[in-house]
Amino acid sequence: MIELPGLSNVEKPVILAPMEGITDHTFRRICLDAGADAGISEFIAAEALVRLVEKSFRKMEPAHGNEIRWVQIFGNNPESVARAAKIAEENGAHIVDLNFGCPVKKIVSKGNGAALLQNLPLMQEIAKATVNAVSIPVTAKTRLGWDFNSLVAKEASMRLQDAGIKALTLHGRTRSQQYGGIANWEAIAEVKNNPALTIPLIGNGDIDSAEKALNFFKSSGVDGMMVGRASIGNPWLFGQIKAALAGKEVILPTLKQKVDLCRKHLSDSIVQKGEKRGILEMRKHFVHYFRGIPDFKPFKLALLSAETADAVELVLKNIH
């Protein structure tokens, strides 16, 4: 069990991973409705939050309003990150997550995200300052290490535990792998099996089926899982994993269900962001809803070039 708000009664929670540009409150709501036990916000720059930049506050908006609000922050200055966490708490966050894993060049080049894997004392200091600044739980998310020559996740987990982090998510890749190769769940299991680790460990990487989730729960012993990319266009995956964990039948969505949810996602996105931006952002999702459907190319091109809700609808109603 993971002793965090909303999760302490959930055995083997399956959580929507934070994804910049994807896990806005519309998508988080869709995934929660589909069975995710929790969902984390897109990452928010501590420096932007302390400067009270409006976009940062929008990223913190709740999905339903009654769910656990788990807000992710990145930064490399302990004082700013701690202040940002306090602002998140004051704005209704129930849990703050610290990003120590983002591999993107423009983030790490400024010493943020996965760059902290090269400076574990600073990672620990940031975590400690944040834990001391807020009264809500603080969690962290990181990777196995900077590259294969510096697999430091075990040491990072100990330092974060010492700093007072309440749960750690480990993505089974190094920074240098970015999103390539295969997530190493044996390495995740090694960190989990360290007898000195007493905080819950959430495993992450490449979960794209209920079967894989079940196997990795069993082989690694992790306390929970985060699912990212495979949920895009397929939020049903959460319900499928939860069903498999409960020993129930795994049900696949029909094409009609896919069209209906894609339509709802678009209309919610437009309510949230307006027609132009709502449609633009949905272009990251459209194709994923219909992955694997034969002869989909003309529909794909039409969906990706549609500029109005009516034009999208014209395409959607012809997918059957």
Which residues contribute to the site for ligand FMN (CB under 6 A)? Answer: 17-22, 42-43, 72, 99, 101-102, 141, 171, 204-207, 227-230
The answer to whether residue 102 is catalytic is yes
Between 13 and 18, whose beta carbon lies closer to ligand FMN? Answer: 18
Position with the least CB separation from ligand FMN: 228
SS3 105: helix
SS3 195: coil
Alpha-carbon distances, residue 250 vs 28, 238, 242, 313 (angstroms): 22, 10, 9, 30
Q: Work out how close the CB of 297 gets to ligand FMN at its nearest, in angstroms, rounded to a whole number.
A: 23
Tokens of 155: 């040491």
Residues shown for the chain: 320
Which segments within 4-131 are labelled E, that is strand?
14-16, 38-45, 70-74, 95-100
Between 21 and 294, whose beta carbon lies closer to ligand FMN? Answer: 21
Q: At what angle do helices 78-90 and 120-133 cross, to 10 degrees?
A: 30
Beta-ladder partners of 16: 39, 227
Between 111 and 319, whose beta carbon lies closer to ligand FMN? Answer: 111
Q: Work out how close the CB of 210 gets to ligand FMN at its nearest, in angstroms, rounded to a whole number.
A: 14
- Whether residue 160 contacts residue 170, with contact meaning beta carbons closer than 8 Å, is answered with no
Catalytic residue among 102, 133, 226, 262: 102
Q: Work out how close the CB of 313 gets to ligand FMN at its nearest, in angstroms, rounded to a whole number.
A: 26
Between 77 and 204, whose beta carbon lies closer to ligand FMN? Answer: 204
Question: CA–CA separation, 2 vs 227, rounded Å?
Answer: 17
Enumerate the active-site residues.
102
